Chain A
Amino acid sequence: MEEKVIICKELTKSFGDFYAVNKISFDVNKGEIFGFLGANGAGKTTAMRMLCGLSFPTSGEATVAGFNVYKQQDSIKKNIGYMSQKFSLYENLTVLENISFFGGVYGVRKKEIKERSEELIQTLGLQNETKKLVGELPLGWKQKLAFSVAIFHKPKIVFLDEPTGGVDPLTRRQFWDMIYKAADEGITVFVTTHYMDEAEYCNRISIMVDGRVEALDSPGKLKERFSADSMDEVFYKLARGAKRGE
């Protein structure tokens, strides 16, 4: 049996009468790329915030990296990485300063920071840009750097919230290469996206509609089940039933 790094059982978050997340249940396996899809307002971000230890669930159970989301938020935070949809590095710090700042915040040792950042800069091909302020880099590089920083402390799980917004197709492809590489190294990737071609890259995807998980399977099987040619069609068939607007 495969090791499960995220286990959700009837996880719920309500604000008064409004159920932003309504009894969702799913498991995510170690090293898996798990796509978390849904229209705007379907409850993706709220669900993700609970899993990251940013907000408490109203009811239900969940463990992330083996830690309880109610009681062990601090331990969860140590074991995950996070990249938000907004660009999340400091523009007026240099490439190296950003790396060592976030490494330091996660408690990575100085010596290790030095070694790993050299390695990282090699792989990203940023040798000539280390002294440059991050604000001067093109968006594609910024995103790749942000992802590398998010997994710099070798977390068990990395949460990516619409990581490729506004990036050109080529860079997106390269970005996904990096995601695959991280998954190969055993990092579980939990990713939300609006791009259906990206959904096809995931091992398994869940589609949320109105706070509930309406479908969960591999892209191939989902297409079969909804007798659709593309993920686009699957998503459309599901999301059409949504009652919540944007």
Chain B
Amino acid sequence: MKQLLVFIRKEFFHVFRDRRTLLIMFGLPVVQIVLFGFALSSEVKNIDIIIYDNAKDVNSTQIINKIKASSYFIMDKEVTTYSDIEKEFKKGDAKCALVFPANFGSDLVATGKAQVQIIADGSDPNIAKTVVNYITAIVSDYQQEINPAGQMQYKINPEMRMLYNEEQNGSLNFIPGVMALILMIVCTALTSVSIVKEKELGTMEVLLVSPFKPVLVLISKAVPYLILSLANFTLILFLSVYVLDVEIKGSIFLLFVESTLFIITCLSLGLLISNATNSQQAALLLSLMGMMLPTLIFTGFLMPLENMPVPFQVISNIVPARWYYLIIKSVMLKGLGFEFVWKETLVLISMTVVLLSIALKKFKIRLQ
């Protein structure tokens, strides 16, 4: 036990003296969160809008003029059928459309109520959301203008529709995605590199000749990264809450438990990689290319998994980050409890057990 502490202390020395490692570890989450957070939610201008005006009356024309006058929209197309809207969307020539029903003006005058429909291209959820907000604002602005002061005689009800991504997936989803990505990089890459480094330098040989148990070498390598990764996870949570104003809806305790589980999965992967490789470059390459790319692609936080070809969807099941992503998304963003994520948790646990036992077994064989 005392030997283990001596060893763990040494590992901490290594980590804290290696500025590059520290930079990767704690710089990465900050950069990623800020990048994803702000790059995606900045103000949108010059949006191409399509008008589908079935009414062609005074009121609809007035609203259209207001939109024309706004600096946020460029209106250069009017269409005459619904299918034209989709054509334009597919070509990428427009991001949103405004549809007036045939009796817009007469409804408004006769009953005091009318509807418009806003259609937005949901494949870019942040832009879509912003656009919808702009149009809604313009419409309610108009509504105020035509209403006599203090009265609500006329009411225009904007109805929103998202094309391609109806559930609005993606706006905040990048946060669990970034968490999975960073934990994956930090745990897998750094552990595998730190073990292979000892092999490369020849110190591993000395350790193996010493009475120190090989399994303890693995444990003492894993412990510092486990602790640092949890610190890292806390940092990401803080950034999400205080910089990006994301509300954590579920239990923080559950988040930490699930993250610890995922970190152990990643550490096992790192140990496995370190068994298979003999140079730091190879270990790093394998962890980055072999782990980061699948994590980016197959978790579904950059592109929806549902839109992928079936073989890819099947492959995605063996990517641990995918399950972690699902868990965190459910707990953090949807506020669901353990009873909704136990299946995913079980998958993650079984993956960890398999990976860890292979890693330990291979490590022993190498000594004979």
- Chain A: residues with CB nearer than 8 A to chain B? 52-56, 74, 77-78, 80, 82-93, 97, 100-102, 104-107, 133, 159
Are B211's CB and A85's CB within 8 A?
Answer: no
Are A97's CB and B13's CB within 8 A?
Answer: yes
Are A105's CB and B210's CB within 8 A?
Answer: yes
B193-228 CB contact bits vs A (8 Å, 1 = yes)?
000000001110111111110000000000000000
Are B3's CB and A87's CB within 8 A?
Answer: no
User: Does any Cβ of A come within 8 Å of B26's Cβ?
Assistant: no
How many whole Å from B189's CB to the nearest CB in chain A?
18
Are B7's CB and A54's CB within 8 A?
Answer: no
Are A90's CB and B2's CB within 8 A?
Answer: no
Chain A residues positioned under 8 Å from B3 (CB to CB): 104-105, 107
Chain B residues positioned under 8 Å from A106 (CB to CB): 210-211
How many whole Å from B344's CB to the nearest CB in chain A?
39
User: Does any Cβ of A come within 8 Å of B14's Cβ?
Assistant: yes
Chain B residues positioned under 8 Å from A90 (CB to CB): 10, 14, 201, 203
Are A82's CB and B2's CB within 8 A?
Answer: no
B6-19 CB contact bits vs A (8 Å, 1 = yes)?
11011001100110
Are A105's CB and B208's CB within 8 A?
Answer: no
Central interface residue in A55, A77, A97, by most chain B CB within 10 Å: A77
> B10, B13, B202, B367: which contacts A84 (Cβ < 8 A)?
B202
Chain B residues positioned under 8 Å from A77 (CB to CB): 209-211
Question: Could you list 15 A-B pairs, sorted by A, with CB under 8 Å?
Answer: A55-B367, A55-B368, A56-B368, A77-B211, A80-B209, A82-B209, A82-B210, A85-B202, A86-B202, A88-B202, A88-B203, A90-B14, A92-B14, A101-B9, A107-B2
Instruction: For B6, give the chain A residue with the smallest CB separation.
Output: A104
Are B17's CB and A92's CB within 8 A?
Answer: yes
- Size of the B side of the interface (Cβ < 8 Å), in residues, is 23
Chain A residues positioned under 8 Å from B368 (CB to CB): 55-56
Count of CB-CB pairs between chains A and B under 8 Å: 75
Are A78's CB and B211's CB within 8 A?
Answer: yes
How many whole Å from A85's CB to the nearest CB in chain B?
7
Looking at chain A's contact residues, the main secondary structure is loop
Are A92's CB and B209's CB within 8 A?
Answer: no
B160-181 CB contact bits vs A (8 Å, 1 = yes)?
0000000000000000000000
Are B2's CB and A104's CB within 8 A?
Answer: yes
Chain B residues positioned under 8 Å from A74 (CB to CB): 211
Instruction: For B208, give the chain A residue with the smallest CB separation.
Output: A54
Answer whether A97 and B203 are a contact pair too, CB < 8 Å, given A56-B368, A104-B2, A106-B210.
no
Chain B residues positioned under 8 Å from A107 (CB to CB): 2-3, 211
How many whole Å from B221's CB to the nearest CB in chain A?
13
Are A93's CB and B201's CB within 8 A?
Answer: no
Known contacts A86-B205, A87-B202; 13 further A-B pairs (Cβ under 8 A): A54-B208, A54-B367, A74-B211, A77-B209, A83-B206, A84-B205, A92-B13, A92-B18, A93-B14, A100-B6, A102-B210, A104-B7, A107-B211
Chain A residues positioned under 8 Å from B367 (CB to CB): 54-55
Answer whether A105 and B207 are a contact pair too, CB < 8 Å, given A56-B368, A87-B201, A87-B202.
yes
The CA-CA distance from A119 to B201 in the complex, in Å, is 28
The CA-CA distance from A97 to B368 in the complex, in Å, is 30
